[in-house]
Every structure is written in C-alpha cells, then in structure tokens.
Amino acid sequence: MVDDSKINLLDLDKVRLEGFFSDLNEKAFRARQVLTWIHQRFVTDFGVMTDLSKSLRDQLAEIATITLPVIEHGYLSADGTYKWLLRLFDGNCIETVFIPEEGRGTLCVSSQVGCVLNCSFCATGKQGFSRNLQVSEIIGQVWLANNALGRDPKGERIITNVVMMGMGEPLANFNHVVAAMNLMLDDFAYGLSWRRVTLSTAGMVPAMDRLRAECPVNLAVSLHAPTDDLRDELVPLNKKYPLRALLAACRRYVSGDKRRAVTFEYVMLEGINDSLQHAQLLARLLQDLPAKVNLIPFNPFPNTIYRCSSIDTINQFRERLLQKGVMTVTRKTRGDDIAAACGQLAGRVQDRTHRALRYQSLANSQTLSA
C-alpha cells in the first residue's frame, strides 16, 4: 500500500523537486543531490543519503517516500528480450520490455494501464482502460530496469534508449509522461539525449504541438494507413484528427531543425493495408516530410481477425517505398514468444470501460457463428 500522507519523491522531476526543497527552506541543490541518490545510485532509504544533514534526512523520512512498482514477474525470451510484469499499488499490472541489440539497449515503457484508443489490431486496446500512470510509475520502470541491468564492463549503462511505446497512449497522459521524460533527459538522473528518447503517438494533434514546445524528444507516429477511410477503421482516433491535420502537425514538429525526422510506424496486415498501391499512396503522403518508415510485422494475439502480411509482401512494400525515396526499414519482431512484441502488451488491467468484456463476447459470438 502507498502511504498517501507522504509525498513520493519519484513523482517529482528536477523543477518540482526544487520546489519541494524550497518549501522546506532548503537550497535548490538539494534537489540535484537527491536526484542523484535516487536515479543514479538507486537508493530509496533517506538514511543512506549521507551528503544531507541528519536533520534533513530525518525530516524526509517523516514526510516523503521513494516508492516503486513491485516486480511481480520477469520473462526472458529466446532472443534475449526481457519483459517485466509490474504490480502497482492498486493491484493493476503493467508491462515493460527490454530489447537488447548490437550496440544499444532499448527499454519500452508503458504510460497508461490499458489504453482508451482501441486500435483494431492492438492487444492493449482490447484490455480496456483503467487509469493514467503516475510519474513514479513511469520513471519507476526506467529505475527498476536500470537497477536490474546495470552497466557494461566499460561502465556504460546497458539501457541506452527509451521508447514510450508500451501500454497506453503517452500523449493522453501528457503531464506525467513529460515529467518522467524530463527525468530521462536530466543529467542528474538518466542523462539521455533527446535523440535516444522516442515518444510514439497514435496522433493526438494538439498534444504533439505541446510536446514540441515543452519536451521535444524524438517523435514516432503510428500511421498504419495512407487514406482516411482505412485509417478510421484501424485507428479510430483518426476520425478526430484525420491525416491532413496529423501530417501538418508532423511538419510543425520537425520544422526549424534539420536534425529531426518523424518515424512513421506501419503495421503490416495481410490484405488490409499492404498492397503496392497502399505503398504508393504512403510515399505520396510523406513526400515533403523528413520521414522514416518503420514497417512492423503484425503480431497476433488471441481472438484477432488480422494476419501478418507475408515476408514477400513486406519486402515488396518496402522496396516500393525505397524506390520512391522514402527511408524504410522493417522492424524485427522481438520477444513474441513471451508476448512482449509490439501490440502484445496486456498487463493486468482493471478495465473500467468494460471493453475487454465486450470484445470477449464479440469474439465468442464470431467463433460460434463461424
């Protein structure tokens, strides 16, 4: 249980921690000291923070905590991908995935318990939605994974990149996600460059502009279709923010900075969005944008109506985009044997939308009538 009478310092980025210490009539540099203890030395006991005075340590123990999610389970994939199931104070569970690659290690972080968006091809959406994660629950994933994985023999952190691509729509939990990313970027915490922190959105247009203004990390957009008709079907949020508005927001996001490009994610669904004509339309859509396309082989989950496109189809689709001058890579499927791949994260969601139930009964009736 969390002690509500105490403030969890893991919920505070540097600016807020400075505010906290100034309220205690302490100097701003206390914030930097405490950030270092928490996020670089992984200390959760105020008693150990020896560069703080004894009286301040006692006062912190009285009024504050450093409380993390609890590791309920860890799963190791045959390909080295590792997934943590984390239990939150209210019994909900979320998932965090570590993906080791040559020369880098990427942590895929969740932002919500479940998701409200209900994209038709995503397992997280089918779980329904419970709530937004607290800052402590978002940065807590980074803390736990870094603490578990540590550093390589050269002293470099094993986790070199963070992608906000786990459960949930990060821009729907804007303030908490930005505070957590501030900590990822803070030299007194995780010290990652903005290029190594990527936020993926299904296209919440106004929040994309806010992100550019407040915390301009790398942007990925889940596109999945080159026309509004098809995208309305796959990503229902498209009805609110259609392609024209979405691409205009992408242009604003990269404008004025030549180092920036938007990554567009495109899940390959057999017979749905994977024809050469779709590739052609996609290339046209992206022609005047610094863009990279990431083709994601569809990862199946129970009761889905979709299938993944064949390798040949994916290759031809990629070739066509490359011919048209669009930088395109196919994302390697990782961790699918432990249900850790894109779109497979489900955690344990106390669904308040009852969507999981409706989806289950729909799937049952389809099986019955098939």
Report, as residue numbers or ranges, the catalytic residues: 95, 342
Task: With H, G, I as helix, E, B as strand and everything else as coil, classify residue 199.
Answer: strand
Of 98, 129, 298, 317, the one binding ligand SAH (CB under 6 A) is 298
CA triple 60-63-67, angle to 5 deg? 85
The C-alpha atoms of residue 107 and residue 285 are separated, in whole angstroms, by 30
The C-alpha atoms of residue 77 and residue 60 are separated, in whole angstroms, by 40
Q: Which is nearer to ligand SAH, 94 or 122 (CB)?
A: 122
Site size for ligand SAH, by CB under 6 A? Answer: 16
- What are the residues whose beta carbons fall under 8 Å from the beta carbon of 291, sequence distance 6 or more? 250, 261, 262, 263, 264, 326, 327
Q: Is 145 in the site for ligand SAH (CB under 6 A)?
A: no
H-type alpha helices, 215-310:
228-234, 243-254, 276-285
The dihedrals phi and psi of 114, each to the nearest 5 degrees, come to 80, -160
Q: Is 349 in the site for ligand SAH (CB under 6 A)?
A: no
Q: Which is nearer to ligand SAH, 145 or 262 (CB)?
A: 262
Instruction: With contacts defined by CB under 6 A, name the span among 10-18, 39-47, 73-81, 200-208 that binds ligand SAH.
Output: 200-208
Q: Is 81 in the site for ligand SAH (CB under 6 A)?
A: no
Q: Is 38 in the site for ligand SAH (CB under 6 A)?
A: no
CB of 236 to ligand SAH, least distance (A): 11
Q: Which two tokens stand for residue 29?
A: 């540099």
The C-alpha atoms of residue 64 and residue 182 are separated, in whole angstroms, by 21
Q: Is 265 in the site for ligand SAH (CB under 6 A)?
A: yes
Build a one-symbol-per-residue string for 205-234: x at contacts with ligand SAH by CB under 6 A, - elsewhere.
Answer: -----------------x------------
Q: Is 177 in the site for ligand SAH (CB under 6 A)?
A: no
Q: Which two tokens stand for residue 262?
A: 């938007």
Q: How far does CA 216 lie from the centroid of its chain?
A: 15
Q: Is 121 in the site for ligand SAH (CB under 6 A)?
A: yes
Of 12, 180, 249, 296, the one binding ligand SAH (CB under 6 A) is 296
Q: Which is nearer to ligand SAH, 140 or 170 (CB)?
A: 170
Residue ranges for the binding site?
Answer: 115, 119, 122, 168-169, 200, 222-224, 299
Instruction: Give me the sheet containing 161-164, strands edge to edge.
Output: 70-76, 82-87, 93-101, 104-108, 161-164, 197-201, 218-222, 262-268, 291-297, 327-330
CB of 188 to ligand SAH, least distance (A): 28
CB of 333 to ligand SAH, least distance (A): 8
Do 77 and 335 meet the contact criterion of CB atoms below 8 Å apart? yes
- Point out which residues bind ligand SAH (CB under 6 A): 119, 121-122, 165, 169, 200-202, 222, 265, 267, 296, 298-299, 342-343
